[in-house]
């Protein structure tokens, strides 16, 4: 199983800021892409799927660049409640998902 | 009950004990998984079951023994564990995971935080 790489952070940003996370994956045959959010001592929860055309859900925008094997997540107008670890996740083939180590975000007042 | 339920939430066991972790999903999914999450490491896949048949064992030591009696239940039997096995053990389920636009990823349970003493 190949690598999913993320900058672990932490990213410390003030409320209202825009923050971007990047992720690279090594398997060019990867099929599906996701961002998960994990709060401290909790389970990961699906934040959004990432589609080739890019997709937006409120303040969150995800982009996929298959040629560069690169995924991004943009959070606009950060809230205190956005503080969490954001996991980049890739499905290569079959059923199993491959997780990055996560990027830690702390939004401060 | 909805979603994916794991019990117990916390477990402390000695190295000579035998215990079992339980997972139940109420989502009608076909596939179930065990993952291990240790500090400072990414989630590590342990086992994959599809329609209660094991399809992947990610080189997990034999002191971890999975059991999947049906598509809704998954167990992880533990015996003679080591302190380095202390971690958060997460169960997840998914619908047919063949990728593509309809792929909705996993739903995780809350996990069992295991401490081996």
Q: What is the DSSP string of A44-100?
A: -EEEEEE-TT-EEETTEEEEEETTTTEEEEEE-S--GGG-EEEEEEEE-SSS-EEE-
By three-state DSSP, how is residue B103 classified? coil
The pLDDT mean for chain A works out to 92
Considering only CB atoms, A31 lies closest to which of B43, B50, B100, namely: B100
Chosen from B32, B45, B55, B99 to mutate, greatest number of chain A CBs within 10 A? B99
Highest mean pLDDT among A41-45, A71-75, B95-99: A71-75
Residue B88 · residue B113 · CB < 8 Å:
yes
Q: CB–CB of B93/B107 below 8 Å? A: yes
Chain A: residue nearest B104 by CA?
A49
CB A86 within 8 A of CB A103: yes
Mean pLDDT of chain B: 89
**What does residue A82 show for φ and ψ, rounded to 5 degrees?**
-80, -10
Range from A95-99, B11-15, B35-39 carrying the lowest mean pLDDT = A95-99
State what percent of residues in chain A have pLDDT above 90: 78
- pLDDT confidence band for A14 (50 / 70 / 90): very high
CA distance A25 to A100: 9
Contact across the interface for B40 and A101, Cβ inside 8 Å:
yes
Paired with B65 in beta bridges are B77
Residues of A with CB below 8 A from B103's CB?
31-32, 49, 91
Give the tens place of pLDDT for each residue, A60-87. 999 999 999 999 999 999 999 999 999 9
CB B114 within 8 A of CB B14: no
CA pair distance B48, A69, nearest whole angstrom:
26
Token look-up 């990961």 returns A44
The answer to whether residue B100 neighbours chain A at the CB level (below 8 Å) is yes
Nearest C-alpha neighbor of A103 from the set A88, A89, A79, A86: A86
Summarised one tens digit per residue, pLDDT across range B76-95 is: 999 999 999 999 999 999 88
Answer yes or no: is pLDDT of B99 > 70. Answer: no
Among A43, A87, A95, beta carbon nearest to B109: A43
- CB-CB under 8 Å, A91 with B103: yes
Pairing of strands B87-94, B31-37: antiparallel
């Amino acid at each position: 199983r190949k690598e999913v790489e993320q900058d672990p952070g932490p990213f410390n940003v003030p409320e209202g800021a825009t923050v971007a996370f990047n992720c690279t994956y090594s398997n060019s045959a990867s099929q599906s892409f996701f961002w998960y959010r994990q709060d401290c001592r909790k389970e990961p929860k699906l934040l959004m799927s990432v589609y080739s055309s890019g997709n937006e859900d409120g303040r969150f925008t995800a982009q996929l660049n298959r040629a560069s094997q690169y995924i991004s997540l943009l959070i606009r107008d950060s809230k205190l409640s956005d503080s969490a670890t954001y996991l980049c996740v890739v499905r290569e083939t079959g059923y199993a998902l491959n997780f990055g180590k996560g990027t830690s975000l702390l939004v401060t007042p | 009950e909805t979603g994916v339920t794991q019990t117990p939430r916390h477990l402390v066991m000695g190295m000579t004990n035998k215990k079992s972790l339980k997972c139940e999903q109420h989502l009608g999914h076909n596939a179930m998984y065990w993952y291990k999450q240790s500090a400072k490491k990414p989630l590590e896949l342990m086992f994959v079951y599809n329609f209660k048949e094991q399809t992947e064992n990610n080189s997990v030591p034999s002191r971890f023994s999975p059991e999947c009696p049906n598509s809704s239940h998954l167990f992880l039997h533990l015996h003679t564990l080591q302190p380095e096995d202390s971690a958060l053990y997460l169960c997840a389920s998914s619908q047919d995971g063949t990728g593509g636009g309809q792929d909705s990823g996993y739903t995780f349970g809350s996990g069992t935080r295991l401490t081996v003493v």
